[in-house]
Structure 1
Amino acid sequence: MSHSPGLLVTLIGFALVIGPLVFLHEMGHYLAGRMFGVKIDAFSIGFGRELFGWTDRRGTRWKFSVLPLGGYVKFAGDLNAASTPDPAWLELPAEERARTLQGRPVWQRAIVVAAGPITNFVVAVVILAAFAMAYGVDRTPSIVGGVSPGSTAAAIGLQTGDRITAIDGRTINTFEDVYEYAVLRPGYPVVIEYDHAGSRIRRATVLGTAVQTDSFGNTFKKGLLGIAPTTPVPHRVGLFEAPVVGIEMTGRILRSTVEGLGQILSGRRSTDELGGPLRIAKVSGEQFSLGWPVLIYFIAGVSINLGFINLLPVPLLDGGHLFFYAIEAIRRRPVAPNVQEWAFRGGLAAILALMVMVTFNDLGAFGLWKALTGLIG
């Protein structure tokens, strides 16, 4: 039987996830800008009309705005919250022009823009490193501890004691490596390499598919090989090893994110799996209801996704600005203002279209379309 954490828990969970991540992302931009002497006009949590705020002694307006779905830092020389260059910055006196973002060397601008997503990755590394220290990590080897009858593993002759060494050419060391690769590929053709009694065997097969439903009624389709691990091998993580483990875990989650997005773009996974703010709010409430450790681990995952999305080369996103800076560095002159203007308009249109699609998906995840179908029927 599924249950909902309730509207209040959902709203609190969403605020606890998005609020700190947006603040830290924008703080990355802010601190990098300050480091290079760029004047900062505004630091906003949320978009649209200001609800309340204050102005500090440096002239920066710190504010909370009506739409709490993100935030921005507006530097001197920016036309708007998306950091579109303002052509008027060229008309400023030399001293003021030097304090605009556009007046800084391209490498400094690139660091300021990249600082936001980098901060998101650093947040994830810190959280995951702390979890590794608190709970340890699983180092169970990729040795088959059992085979499910009728499974994919049984079909290719895997037996207890065999060691899986590679899947589709990717090196496999631990049982977690096997799980992470298989779970994202339900029904996929794969090539399994394994050692059996000293012989290396290579078999092509198709992963099984399982559909699971959690306690909140969410359904998940995942790939299965049909093997069980040997006795778990926990590994305690010390203070000096923790950052390395945190980076490794962040890299694994990021790789899964990129692979999942690639599957959606290639048509192997449904676009229904793309979610937006409403779904993040829903899942945030669910994770919050399961306890603080679960919520904090979820925050790490969202932080990684936020950093990755912002690095995509789409105008209006940080990655779009970095793309223009890369062109400027190669050409030794900025991209023409009219080209940037049309690119930003195109980026805005693309983002708005994506928001419409993910909102449609999110409402489906809340059961709205099924409810309307039932009413009509």
Structure 2
Amino acid sequence: MIEAPGLLLTVIAFALVLGPLVFVHELGHYLAGRWFGVKAEAFSIGFGHEVAGFTDKRGTRWKFGWLPLGGYVKFAGDMGPASQPTAEWLQLPAAERAQTFQAKPVWQRAIIVAAGPAINLALAVLILAGFAYAYGQSTTPPVIGLVAEDSAASRAGLTHGDRITSIGDKSVARFDDLRLYAAMRPNETVPLTIVRDGQTRTLPLTIGQLREADRFGNQFRVGRIGIGPAAPVWSPVGLLEAPVVGVRRTGEIIGMMVDTIAQIVTGRRSVEELGGPLRIAQVSGQQLAIGWPEFVSLIALISINLGFINLLPVPMLDGGHLFFYAIEAVRRRPVGARAQEWAFRGGLAAILALMLLVTINDLGAFGLWRGIASLIG
């Protein structure tokens, strides 16, 4: 077991993860806005009172806020939480109004909003493509080479030489496909299709559960089938193929996120597994202590999370704005300002509630509640 990193390293690692990713996200909005001729009044990393900043020749205020848990770009004309034109906007001179966010057609506004999550996903693809090019990729065929005793595989009747072609609703091309699918579904029963002696068979498989601990003692629950490959294969990845691998791996991670959300909603996974900024900070410090490749991999993972979550159709998030723009494009007029106002208030309440929940979970994972209970007892 590796000794946990100290507070200073954890804070530095957290800043190195969150700061650049927030900057990249907001830079996507900013660059798209610049492309369509929208003036940016402020570009902030962090919220709240300004700690430091400067104003460039275009009149944009670049600044750091004291609460480093996000950021924003404030475009001219974007004057309300629902981004609706106001009386103040209507009174602007025509030349100034033409440079405002609300003066642009709905498709341009949608691109500006979508550019933030898009650039986060593009960054993750670039990182994962770089890893694939540098280290290659596993192309091990899904042929069983060994079956662990008293495992999910042995109970399902799997044997040496079976080729697995699908599990659940997912086709299988590589052995890694099995590992990723099973890891997210402990104790679930799914159909498994195999080819044995030239014949195709479908067997019920109840995926096993295993509690594992990482090098810092953190425990987590994963699903295991209990099989090993016949012959591991590791293949190099060329420069042109690397982006394709990066896109595929990004898609796999997004698929795992969707599965996790579905499992939490249906009760198959506990909400206690949701983590927030405190747990991200903890993991950031741990990954940096292990090494730079692991730390950069974490940056890719958090970047995908940031892009994916912001695309969810929740008011206050980029996806919520895109949802209203889609309605506007269909109706040929925007949703009423009052309806948007209430929707964004509800979205803000939901986000604050989620932040409270994950903070409680994080403090629980650090042992705070157990410590308080022991003191009371």
Which TM class, normalised by the smaller chain length?
over 0.9
Whichever residue aligns with residue 202 of structure 1, its letter is: T
> Take 2:3 and 2:260, find their aligned partners in 1: how far apart are those partners?
27
Residue 169 of structure 1: how far off its partner (Å):
2.9
CA contact (8 A) 1:3 1:217 kept: no
CA contact (8 A) 1:133 1:239 kept: yes
Q: Structure 1, residues 144-167: CA drift from partner, whole Å, max 9, x if none?
A: 010011111111221111101111
Residue 83 of structure 1: how far off its partner (Å):
6.7
Per the alignment, residue 307 of structure 1 pairs with: 307
SS in 2 for 1:145: strand
1:318-357 to 2 correspondence within 5 Å? 318-357=318-357
Per the alignment, residue 64 of structure 1 pairs with: 64
> Take 1:95 and 1:331, find their aligned partners in 2: how far apart are those partners?
28
> Take 1:106 and 1:20, find their aligned partners in 2: how far apart are those partners?
29
Per the alignment, residue 243 of structure 2 pairs with: 243
Indicate whether 1:282 and 2:282 are aligned: yes
Q: Structure 1, residues 326-352: CA drift from partner, whole Å, max 9, x if none?
A: 010000001111111111111111111
CA contact (8 A) 1:42 1:74 kept: yes
SS in 1 for 2:100: coil
Identity %: 60
Per the alignment, residue 152 of structure 1 pairs with: 152
Q: State the number of aligned residues.
A: 376
Whichever residue aligns with residue 337 of structure 2, its letter is: P
Per the alignment, residue 85 of structure 1 pairs with: 84
> Take 2:28 and 2:58, find their aligned partners in 1: how far apart are those partners?
18
> Take 2:205 and 2:334, find their aligned partners in 1: how far apart are those partners?
52
Whichever residue aligns with residue 264 of structure 1, its letter is: I
Residue 181 of structure 1: how far off its partner (Å):
0.5
Per the alignment, residue 22 of structure 1 pairs with: 22
SS in 1 for 2:103: coil
Per the alignment, residue 360 of structure 2 pairs with: 360
> Take 2:204 and 2:28, find their aligned partners in 1: how far apart are those partners?
47
Q: TM-score, normalised by structure 1?
A: 0.98
> Take 1:77 and 1:246, find their aligned partners in 2: how far apart are those partners?
37
Residue 375 of structure 1: how far off its partner (Å):
1.7
> Take 1:268 and 1:161, find their aligned partners in 2: how far apart are those partners?
32
Per the alignment, residue 203 of structure 2 pairs with: 203
> Take 2:19 and 2:205, find their aligned partners in 1: how far apart are those partners?
45
> Take 1:340 and 1:331, find their aligned partners in 2: how far apart are those partners?
15
CA contact (8 A) 1:50 1:64 kept: yes
Whichever residue aligns with residue 361 of structure 1, its letter is: N
Per the alignment, residue 271 of structure 2 pairs with: 271
CA contact (8 A) 1:139 1:174 kept: yes
Residue 86 of structure 1: how far off its partner (Å):
4.8
Residue 373 of structure 1: how far off its partner (Å):
1.7
Whichever residue aligns with residue 208 of structure 2, its letter is: G
Whichever residue aligns with residue 354 of structure 2, its letter is: L
- Gaps of at least 5 residues in structure 1 are none
Whichever residue aligns with residue 223 of structure 1, its letter is: G
> Take 1:108 and 1:15, find their aligned partners in 2: how far apart are those partners?
32
Per the alignment, residue 222 of structure 1 pairs with: 222
Q: Structure 1, residues 284-330: CA drift from partner, whole Å, max 9, x if none?
A: 11111110000001110110010000001111110010011001000
Q: Structure 1, residues 124-175: CA drift from partner, whole Å, max 9, x if none?
A: 0000000001100000000001001111111122111110111113111111
Whichever residue aligns with residue 360 of structure 2, its letter is: F
Greater Cα offset, 113-122 or 7-16: 7-16
Runs of 4+ with >4 A deviation: none
> Take 1:111 and 1:169, find their aligned partners in 2: how far apart are those partners?
33
CA contact (8 A) 2:153 2:227 kept: yes
Residue 108 of structure 1: how far off its partner (Å):
0.2
Q: TM-score, normalised by structure 2?
A: 0.98
CA contact (8 A) 1:185 1:223 kept: yes
CA contact (8 A) 2:167 2:192 kept: yes
CA contact (8 A) 2:156 2:206 kept: no
